Amino acid sequence: MEDAVLTAYRDHGMFLARGGTVFEVFSELMGKVTGCARGKGGSMHLYRRQNNFFGGWGIVGTPPPLGTGLAFALKFLKRDNVAVAIYGDGAENQGQVYEAKNMAALWNVPVIFLVENNHFGMGTAEWRASKKASYFDRVSYIPGLKVDGMDVFAVKEALLFCKDHCLTRKGPIVLECDTYRYHGHSMSDPGSSYRTRDEIKQIRQVRDPIQHLKLIILREQVIPEQQLTEIDKQVKKDVEDDVRRAQQAALPEAADLFTDVYKQHKGFVIHGCDRKVTTYKT
């Protein structure tokens, strides 16, 4: 939990992986004070500073420059840790991503640029948006590797390799995780206009990461299948309980709109931010 991690707006699983709770997630989705950002962040901006999870970010392409900054801080503080900036293949074409990579390489900061390549951006396939539809080898001056993003063990080993590289060679690295998006990008994207339903079905049958892990657990006789079934039932019950708790939690007070906006200063006010100052007439 000492390494800094940040990601884009599909941040729910990462928040849980970094020590967050399901109750905090649903509370945040519902805008309740019990949410991880006290109901102010919402789905795209989950946050857990105590475990060095610096949030999901709603602006596409944000993680690379922020991750570079976090890595610079770690290097400045002489910490034996890395920053992991997670973003998608659609964001890879943005200018700020290249600027961040240039700065990271120039300053030799310990950052892992982790590209979740699910092959489809908002309503289009990667090959229609990118002349070069691979991402681990896009920048010649930063090393990179590609891994099966649907295999949890492969991803773990790849990240360990990348962290060792950053700390021993004192510089950035790119990790491309080859994965797949089953559903549409958003509510306005049905997800079936740029691929066939048969393709989606085939990927689910052959590469689904949860089923793949389940098969390994059963094959290696880690636990019996009945115990996996019991775990599934218990998890569903726990989630339902947390949803009910979140629904019953309190909403923020109106005064909370004016908190966490700017740092409190004595002696002067900030235009448009201080609620005690009237800046217009009705």
Among 80-89, 219-228, 247-256, 273-282, name the one with the lowest average pLDDT. Answer: 273-282
Q: Give the mean pLDDT of 21-26.
A: 97
- Residues facing residue 88 across a β-bridge: 116
Average pLDDT, the chain: 91
- Domain layout of the chain by residue ranges: 4-258
Greatest Cα-to-Cα distance within the chain, rounded to the nearest angstrom: 73
pLDDT at residue 273, as a whole number: 61
User: In what order do the strands lie in the sheet containing 83-88?
Assistant: 53-56, 4-7, 83-88, 111-117, 173-178, 144-148
Instruction: Of 100-109, 183-192, 236-245, 270-279, give the lowest mean pLDDT range.
Output: 270-279
Q: Which CATH class is domain 4-258?
A: alpha beta
Higher pLDDT, 189 or 103: 103
Task: Report the pLDDT value the prediction gives residue 280, as an integer from 0 to 100.
Answer: 46
| Residues whose CB is less than 8 angstroms from the CB of residue 52 and which lie 6 or more positions away in sequence, other chains included | 1, 2, 3, 4, 5, 18
pTM: 0.90
146-156 average pLDDT score: 97
Tens digit of pLDDT for each residue in 218-232?
Answer: 999 999 999 999 999
The confidence score (pLDDT) of residue 54 equals 96
Position 215 scores a pLDDT of: 94
- Decide which of 193 and 54 is more confident: 54
Is the pLDDT at 110 greater than 70, yes or no? yes
φ, ψ dihedrals at 174, nearest 5°: -110, 135
